[in-house]
Amino acid sequence: MTKLNGLKKINVAVFISGKGSNLKNLIKNSKKHNSRFKISLVISNNSRALGLKFAQKFNITKKVINFNNKSLIEKKLIFILEKKKIDIICLAGFMKILSKNFIKKFNGKILNIHPSLLPKYKGLNTHMRAIRNKEKYSGCTVHFVNSKLDSGKIILQKKVKILKKDTPKSLASRVLIQEHVLYSKAINKIIANL
């Protein structure tokens, strides 16, 4: 934790692989005057991830890490996270699976955002599957990460109504708008218990 303007702030690392719109909104919300968290580090497994430009723009330390040799890389990663005194890790469109050891080390401190109302539609293509199954609602979930895919304890969810005319793309863009609000709310919710 760091102390800024007399307020204790939680240090957050965000892991990305692509666009980084969730990262962008986490940064934006972290800059609000009553925010209790600060984005201190951005990790990407992909040097071409568009989201890296937000780290650049807001002067946040960023590291591109090749996750191919997982055990070696995770050791390096743990060193970086400890050096930056990271309190929580937020996965935001991060497409790599973290090892059981890594998850154990940061037990209760890794969050993920998933574009469905978990436990429904774990994994990929969530919107396509929800539409195909004629669901009335889709949505998004922020949950703790455990060793099973998209299965950790749910922190917050937001429902989004599926419209008759929805395609996976149109539904994804409405859900994404809700993701941008939900992730910061979820962080604020868990801060009290850290």
Our CB check for ligand GRF shows the closer of 14 and 81 to be: 14
Catalytic residue flag (residue 180): no
In the complex, minimum distance from the CB of residue 26 to ligand GRF, in angstroms, rounded to a whole number: 9
Total Cβ atoms within 10 A of residue 54:
24
Residues 53-112, interacting with ligand GRF (CB under 6 A): 92-93
At 48, list the tokens: 């071409």
* 168 contacts ligand GRF (rule: CB under 6 A): no
Map 48-70 to HEC letters. Answer: CCCCHHHHHHCCCEEEECCCCCH
Catalytic residue, from 114, 127, 143, 180: name it. Answer: 114
* 115 contacts ligand GRF (rule: CB under 6 A): yes
d(CA 106, CA 122): 22
In the complex, minimum distance from the CB of residue 7 to ligand GRF, in angstroms, rounded to a whole number: 26
d(CA 58, CA 10): 17
Of 183, 192, 193, residue with least CA distance to 90: 183
* 114 contacts ligand GRF (rule: CB under 6 A): yes
Of 187, 176, 190, residue with least CA distance to 35: 187
Residue with tokens 């993701």: 179
Amino acid at 140: C
In the complex, minimum distance from the CB of residue 83 to ligand GRF, in angstroms, rounded to a whole number: 25
Our CB check for ligand GRF shows the closer of 36 and 122 to be: 122
Exactly one of 9, 20, 110, 130 binds ligand GRF (CB under 6 A); that residue is 20
* 152 contacts ligand GRF (rule: CB under 6 A): no
Just list the catalytic residues. 114
Interface residues with ligand GRF (CB under 6 A)?
A: 16, 18-22, 51, 92-93, 113-115, 176, 179
